[in-house]
Amino acid sequence: MSPGASALPRLGVTLYSFTRDFHAGRATLEELVARVAREGLGPGLEVIGFQSFRGFPHMAAEDERRFLELVERHGLELSCLDGNVDIALRADRLLDETELVEYLQAQIDAAARLGFPVLRIQNQASPRVVERLLPHAEKRRVKLGMEIHAPETVRSPWVLALRELYARLDSPYLGFIPDFGASTRGISPSMFEAFRAKGVSDDLLEEIARRWRELDGKEFEAHEEIGRFIALAHEHGAGDHAVNLAVFAVGIHGHQEASAWSEILPHVVHVHGKFFDIRDGREPVVALEELIDVLVAGGYRGYISSEYEGWHWDTESDAFAMVARQQAVCRAALERYARSS
C-alpha cells in the first residue's frame, strides 16, 4: 500500500531562495519570514546562519528571542540551519582541526538555542572533524547534515568515507542533505537565455552544453573542470562572464542519476529541493517528480526545502512566485501517494 499523507515528505523553503531580495534591501529577515507564511510556502523554514543573523553564531539574546517569536507568530516550523565550514577565516593560514571543531561547535550551539533540529555542514569538515563533533551534537540534540552538492555524488570519495564513518558510529545525529541540483538532465535553459542576452555567443553556449554532457558518468575534480570551462569561455570571448558561466555550469548542475540517492536515504536528515525555473508546470532540467518518488520509496519523511537558485542569473522573476510554482509541482507529486493510500 502506498504511504498516506502523514507518512510523506513535507514541504518548506530556504530563505536562500530570496537572497536577491535580501541583498537588495527589498525585504528584511522579518519580512521574508512573514511573506513565506502569508503565501503558504512553509511550514518548513530553513535559514542560513551567516546570511541572516548579525554576529552569528554568537548572536545577542534579544535577537534570538525575537526570531523565535517571529517563527511562532507565523506558525512555521524550523527545519534546518545552514552553517558554514569556513576553513580560510585567517589571512595567514587555514584553520587547524581543533579550531575548526570549536568553530562548528559554536554553530551547533546556535542551532540548539534557536530550535533547529539540523545543522547543514559542508565537505571541508573531514570525517575526523565530524567524529569529534558528534558528542557535542548529541548533547545538544542537533543533527549534523552533510550537504552533497553538485557536482559531487553519493560515490564521491569523501562521501564514501563519511558513509563508512556513519556505519561505524551508528548515530541518528549524523546524516546527509541531498541537493537536487546534483541530479540534473542538463544546464538550465534560463541560464543560457540570460547569458545570451548579455552577449555571450551561441557557439560558446552550445560548446558548454556539449562539454557538460561529456562529463556524464565521469569522476572529476570540480575546481579542475571549472578551470577548463573558464578557459573555454575566454577562448570564445566571454570576458567578465567567463567565471560565472563555468561555475554555474559545473558547480550547480550535477550529473548523478536520481535513483542513486536511494543508497544513502537511511541517513538523510534534510533535503534541498534545488531548482532553477518552472515552465509550463515543470522544471526543465531537475526531475522533481522522479526525485520525490525516490525519497518516498526510501521512506524519507522529513522536509524538502524549495531552493530557488535561478536568481543568480534571472533578475526579473519574482522568487516567491517561482517557489510557489515549484511547490505546486512537488505537492502534486506527493498527493498522488496520498490519494492512492
Q: With contact defined as beta carbons under 8 Å apart, do 164 and 263 qualify?
A: no
Residue (of 194, 190, 183) closest to 322 by Cα position: 190
Other beta carbons within 10 angstroms of residue 58's beta carbon come to 11
The distance in angstroms from the start CA to the end CA of the chain is: 6
CA–CA distance, 260 with 251 (Å, rounded to integer):
19
Residue (of 94, 109, 146, 102) closest to 125 by Cα position: 146
Q: With contact defined as beta carbons under 8 Å apart, do 1 and 296 qualify?
A: no
Residue (of 88, 86, 155, 97) closest to 130 by Cα position: 97
* Helix boundaries (H) for 87-126: 97-114
Q: Is the dihedral of CA 277, 281, 38, 110 positive or negative?
A: negative
Helix axes 97-114, 61-73, angle to 10 degrees: 50
Residue (of 268, 112, 101, 280) closest to 178 by Cα position: 268
Residue matched to cell numbers 567578465: 240
Residue 52 backbone class (left: φ over 0; alpha: ψ -120 to 50; beta: rest): alpha
CA–CA distance, 117 with 78 (Å, rounded to integer):
7
Amino acid at 168: R
CA–CA distance, 108 with 56 (Å, rounded to integer):
11
- Strands 143-148 and 303-308 come out as unpaired
Which helix (DSSP H) or strand (DSSP E) does residue 190 occupy?
A: helix 189-197
Catalytic positions, please? Answer: 149
Residue (of 14, 12, 32) closest to 22 by Cα position: 32
